[in-house]
Chains A and B, each alone.
Chain A
Amino acid sequence: MIEGTTQTEAPDQEDEAVRRAQEDRLREVWAAPKGWRYWSAVNNTEVGVWYTAVSFGFMLFAGVLALIVRAQLAVPENDLVSPTFYDQAFTLHGTTMMFLFAVPIFEAVAIIILPQLLGARDLPFPRLSAFGFWCFVIGGVFVTGSIFFDQAPSSGWFMYPPLTTEERYTPGYGPDIWLLGLSFIEIASLAAAVELIVGTLKCRPPGMRLNLMPLYAWYVLVVAGMILFAFPPLIAGDILFEFERMFDWPFFDPSRGGDPILWQHLFWIFGHPEVYIVFLPAIALVAMIVPTFAQRPILGYSWIVLAAVGTGFISFGLWVHHMYATGLPSISLGFFSAASEAVAIPTGVQIFVFIATLLTGRVIYSVPMLFVSGSLANLVIGGLTGVMVALVPFDWQAHDTYFVVAHLHYVLIGGVLFPIAAGVYYYWPLVAGRKLSSRLGRIAFWLMFVGFNAAFLPMHYSGLAGMPRRVWTYSESLGVGTANLISSVGAFIFAAGILVIVWDVLRPRGKEPYAKRNPWNAGTLEWLVEMPGEDWGVRSIPIVTSRYPLWEQPNFIDDVDKGRFYLPDAEEMKRETIITSVLDGTPLQCLRVPGPSFMPMVAAIFTGAVFIFATFHWWASTIAAMVLAAISIIVWLWRGTAIIPEKPEKNVGRGLHLPLYTSGPHSVGWWAMFITMMGDTTAFLGLVFGYYYFFTIHADFPPPANVGPGVLWPSVAFGLFAVAWATALGARLTNQAGRIGLARGLMAAGAVAALGGSAALLWGPYTTGLRPAAHVYPATVWVIAIWTALHGVAGSLMLAYCLARSLVGRMTPKHDMDIWNVALYWHFVGFAVIVTVGTLAYLPLLT
């Protein structure tokens, strides 16, 4: 079923001259731009490396902050740094490590190795990855740079109100920088999630069925799915928070009906899955390294899938274990305690699978394996203290003490940083063509392992002895002076280990030879790469029939190299890769992947400007930046997406003909829209959660129906949005049926109806005189109405975009990807409208 049916004249792959010409074409097509245009590159081999380098840079920065913290705490009653600076240092340490290192490093590494692992030339949306990268750089520099102006956030990485919402406690821009800078970076994470989900599901090589997928890809799929549902509630929280800070809308102010606990819910609905979002990808690296160094396939593949998927789900039921001390009913705490214990099951399963694989294999002890064993040891300690603090009575004793600091660092450094170090040593040849030094690696490992345990083991004691977290200094009478001194010395030893790795990576290589191909004798596709690697990724896209093709498929490397598989050539001088089906990897399409462009960078700069100007309340500039961002995104889409190919299909090799253009559920664009809107809808539900949260805690929420936005205008909005939804769907169907005139009419009518619907939705609360700063009820009504109205405006723009594409002939009845995606968008807006109008207008009638 892999083989095509039509036979056409195929190039002779056994002829070296033919192959040489093909290679020249591939090399030219995939080459990174030269000179200053280098920065317009979008290919995974460039963007992934930049992404990784920048997130490591942020890690080193946050590490320096940690050393400052440890230096301050080394002796009792120290005053090395001021309390204000200390607060900024530990807040920025946590914030940077989580948002600018742990999550981005997953995205960065996945962008580098996922296409290689899947034998794809690139992921389906390289420009989206580039956009995400530039957003990340701009937002990251903005957030971290604030400390040099003494304006960094200083209230802990979770920003609890009312400490952070009231000017008298936190003057200056610190919280705004945190909220707006990180919201911006969250967009980058969502972009990466879309890219990675579609990449894993649709860009696998022909024949790679779900049961043959590398475990790393399973983890990527699970983690990207988690990002999609974990980050949006935080975005919703950020919106509420920023509206409170900027416009005094009292979401978290109890004197006007708000509740600071709502922020804690929204933050930790993100914050706990976040722990697993950073942990699972690191364990995914372990799942790739262990089989290679045990020189055998992983034992219990299904069990790992169980662990990844099971953890992905259960980790969403843990968030309140960060809130045990807030006075919630004990029965509620019980539910979260139960889930927190249950999650230990899949986590433990993974560790047993790794150990079993190692026990049954012939283990080769090398630097990556050393870091993996160190990781497992430390992670188990962190996991066990996790089971302890998941118990409510114990947590009440240890809450906000250094015991928790010890626990979380054992999990994060043991479970994330050590595997990443293992990954650096393991995958360095893939990036640079050479192995890192095994001698320096061992030195780094032992410095890190000893330093880490010296730093964090004593913290268990400091915490149990009563030392609270986030204190600037402590009294000698507490008796934790020695423990803290050991911790500080340990932290510096640990840092020395990190520096050894940095030196190993950066040191000049001179004439050191390249590593041999597949230097670790691994079994998975990423090691097809030549040393040094070519920009095209794989010479030809292989047919995969095994989990470890390099070990198990005979003559595999030679077949790939000689171009005997698919797409051995780039005869039209276009970047191409193969799209396959979700279950069985059946080839469906030859996808033309976009090449270098400055548009993602330009769009990211303007989008960043929106957030940065808003931080300083420069409203005119903010609006100007918003318009420029919208224009740059439209230009990017207009010129670079849904391009009508010069012929309907092409021969991709081995007699297989694949279409060059698909639309609807067969196209990657449709999938990306679907996934993006899942995330978008989750953010919307985060806002709606706020409404129903207040509904549960206040007897008079919502107030009687005559106070609210009324029934009339929301109903009018509902009608107009229904028209817009129907026209979007109708335009898709009529355009498909070839009735272009009618389709254009529908698109125009839909664009107008959507604007009208948005206006009517906002007119309701306006005309009934709801003042958002007065009480949390009007504020909540307004924020939900604004969200949906903005989606209506965006939907109107999209319909107008489709109309313009149709008028200039870029969208036709056969080439209708745009309207398919816009109609899909409108299904989601339709859902949001139903929830919005039902909640705001009709729910008050029932109460």
Chain B
Amino acid sequence: MQVFGKTQDNLWTLIAAPAIWGFHFLFSYFLAAYRCAPNDDIFGTRAAIAVVTVICLLLILLIARRAGREWRTYGGAYRNDQATDNARERFLEFSTLLLAALSFVAVVFETLPIFVFWDCR
């Protein structure tokens, strides 16, 4: 997969952003579960989740930027039901962009608990 050039979209590029959400979710959950087995202070855990969150959000933004830019450069139309390679690419790019937006919001949601909960109670 090229990131900055023109990319051939497929089903894997489509699900990349939600897959990052999945990684972020599992990472946060497993780390907190592991660190909370004895009820310790979890500042380190929360910091680690914050770092991973920033990385995940940046990756999702990169995906969104790539998809959005190609979508706009090569037409950027909302109508993509023609029987052409171009329409298929634009469809996948636009859908990727939408999924990246959803994943971005979901990752942000997923991070809110670390600002609210300071220990394991």
Question: Residues of A at under 8 Å CB distance from B?
Answer: 207, 209-212, 297, 301-303, 305-306, 309-310, 312-314, 316-317, 328-332, 334-339, 341-342, 345-346, 544-547, 582-584, 696-697, 699
Contacts and interface: CB of A to CB of B under 8 A. Distances in A.
B75 interface: no
Contact of B88 (A210, A309, A334, A546): A210
A696 B34 contact: yes
B36 A211 contact: no
Contacts of B120: 329-331
A280 to B, nearest CB: 15
Given A312-B18, A697-B37, 18 more contacts: A209-B88, A211-B87, A211-B91, A301-B80, A301-B81, A306-B98, A310-B99, A310-B102, A314-B21, A314-B106, A329-B32, A329-B39, A331-B113, A338-B110, A342-B102, A342-B109, A345-B105, A699-B37
B92 A210 contact: yes
B80 A302 contact: yes
Contacts of B1: none
Contact of B37 (A297, A334, A583, A696): A696
A317 B25 contact: yes
B10 A335 contact: no
Contact of A584 (B19, B85, B95): B85
A582 B25 contact: no
Nearest to B80: A211
A334 B117 contact: yes
Contact of B121 (A309, A330, A547, A582): A330
A302 to B, nearest CB: 5
Given A297-B81, A582-B11, A696 B105 contact: no
A302 B81 contact: no
17 contacts: A210-B11, A211-B87, A310-B18, A310-B99, A329-B117, A329-B121, A330-B113, A330-B121, A331-B32, A331-B42, A334-B112, A335-B29, A339-B25, A346-B102, A582-B11, A583-B88, A696-B33
A339 B109 contact: yes
B114 interface: yes
B11 A330 contact: no
Contact of A314 (B18, B39, B95, B114): B18
A315 to B, nearest CB: 11
A341 B106 CA distance: 9
Contacts of B109: 338-339, 341-342
Contacts of B87: 209, 211
Give the interface SS of chain A, mostly helix, strand, loop or mixed: helix
B105 to A, nearest CB: 7
A337 B117 CA distance: 13
A35 to B, nearest CB: 45
10 closest Cβ pairs, A-B complex = A334-B113, A211-B91, A545-B83, A313-B18, A331-B117, A306-B98, A338-B109, A342-B106, A329-B120, A329-B36
Give the interface SS of chain B, mostly helix, strand, loop or mixed: helix
A322 B66 CA distance: 38
B1 to A, nearest CB: 14
B39 to A, nearest CB: 8
Interface of B: 10-11, 14-15, 18-19, 21-22, 25, 28-30, 32-34, 36-39, 42, 78, 80-81, 83, 85, 87-88, 90-92, 94-95, 98-99, 102-103, 105-106, 109-110, 112-114, 116-117, 120-121
Contact of B91 (A210, A342, A346, A699): A210
Contact of A303 (B14, B15, B90, B98): B98
Contact of A209 (B32, B83, B94): B83
Nearest to A222: B15
Given A330-B121, A338-B110, A306 B102 contact: yes
Contacts of A336: 29
Contact of A317 (B22, B34, B81): B22
B113 to A, nearest CB: 3
In this complex, the member of B28, B92, B95, B117 whose beta carbon has the largest number of chain A beta carbons within 10 angstroms is: B95
Given A306-B98, A313-B21, A211 B32 contact: no
A9 to B, nearest CB: 29
Contacts of A546: 81, 83
Contact of A331 (B34, B38, B102, B114): B114
Contact of A212 (B21, B28, B38, B83): B83
A313 B16 CA distance: 11
Nearest to A316: B22
A342 B36 contact: no
A342 B107 CA distance: 9
A309 B99 contact: yes
Nearest to B93: A302
Contacts of B15: 309, 313
Nearest to B45: A331
B88 A335 contact: no
Contact of B18 (A212, A302, A309): A309
A299 to B, nearest CB: 10
Nearest to A201: B11
B80 A335 contact: no
A324 to B, nearest CB: 13
